Amino acid sequence: MISKPRVLVSRQVFDEVIDYLAEHCEVEANQDDIPFSVEQLTQRLEGKDALMCSLTDRLDTATLQRCTRLKVISNIAVGYNNIDVAACSAQGIKVTNTPGVLDDSTADLAFALMLSTARRVTEVEALIRQGQWTGWRLQQWLGVDVHHATLGIIGMGRIGQAIARRTLGFDMNVLYHNRNRVAPEIERKLGAAHCSFEDLLKRSDFVILQVPYSSHTHHLINAKALAMMKPGAILINSTRGGVVDDAALVHALEAGVIRAAGLDVFENEPKLHPGFLKLQNVVLTPHIGSSTETTRRAMAMCAATNMIAALNGQVPPNWVNPI
Ligand code: DGY
């Protein structure tokens, strides 16, 4: 009898995902969802053919070198900066991710952050709860308009484009900066104009970051970039911590270099730069960009499908390091 491949699922997933994997594999699953330390993860990977993991699992060269049997790493995320992909390729490990299924949910959250920061939703909500609303006044808690404003999107991939589609209902002007310019018909459909990074920062009322994290995008938004933004501008980061220099952003928000920020991701999350917690002009959410029931189920199932295809010797649908 041919033995089934042995797989490790490092964090809790939906039951239907475990059931699907169990049809094809011997599954060890961490349904208690207590994150493994690097050492625990390495030990559990001994003798495993595949790993289904999340962005909280770090798979660096040293760890990978100890996983001599591993053939597949299926990340339940579109971003895969938690994995040393070059080291995987060198070891013949296939890496997969979950693009596409989360574009709209992530774009929705970026929009939610933009609207909440512009209209000070969480700031005033806290004041109401503290009993500090004594009545309507004309000049009370004035925000800024999202409609007809200029939005700069840095990173015009699938999620960037989903954000741009949403601006059409708000009559916004859209600028974007991307390594490669998108096709003219997409620009036309989205009403989006390509410009340089510097130009985008100088002209935008809102800036949304949608680039993946890498050594090239590390601290893309630093003190110098923040100083280029309009004093009334609002920065939204719903992509990855580390794309923004959090210390520089705290300083910029304190000093009024920019008006406000909406942040779903942070350097060193779940730890936050303590400065953010003292500021009124920042809306904070805990990396929930893709977190809707439908989308998270779709991401986990997409990761399972990738894994089984790769284990069966097929080309996995979302293979990030064809080798
Ligand atoms: C992703 O898919 O990269 C998201 O950040 C996970 O929620």
Contacts of 252 (CB under 8 A, 6+ apart): 223, 226, 227, 258
For domain 103-284, the question of CATH label 3.40.50.720 is answered with: yes
Catalytic residues: 240, 269, 287
Q: For 41-91, write each residue's pLDDT tens digit.
A: 999 999 999 999 999 999 999 999 999 999 999 999 999 999 999 999 999
Can you give the C-alpha Rg of the chain in angstroms?
A: 22
Domain spanning 6-101+293-311: which superfamily?
NAD(P)-binding Rossmann-like Domain (3.40.50.720)
Which pLDDT score, from 0 to 100, does residue 1 have? Answer: 64
Q: Which residues form ligand 1's pocket by a CB distance below 6 Å? A: 55, 77-79, 102, 289-290
Mean pLDDT (the chain) is 97
Q: Please state the atom number of ligand 1 nearest to the C-alpha of residue 76.
A: 2
Q: Whose CA is nearest to atom 6 of ligand 1?
A: 77
Task: Give the distance (Å) from ligand 1 centre to CA of residue 76.
Answer: 8
Give residue 323's pLDDT: 83
Could you tell me the residue ranges of all domains in the chain?
Answer: 6-101+293-311, 103-284
Residue 143: pLDDT band with limits 50, 70, 90: very high
pLDDT digits (tens, 9 = 90+) for 194-239: 999 999 999 999 999 999 999 999 999 999 999 999 999 999 999 9
Same topology between domain 6-101+293-311 and domain 103-284: yes
Residue 15 has pLDDT above 70, yes or no: yes
- Ligand 1 atom with the shortest distance to the CA of 78: 2
Calculate how far, in angstroms, residue 286's C-alpha sits from the geometric centre of ligand 1. Answer: 12
The per-residue pLDDT for 42 is: 95
Atom of ligand 1 nearest to the CA of 290: 7
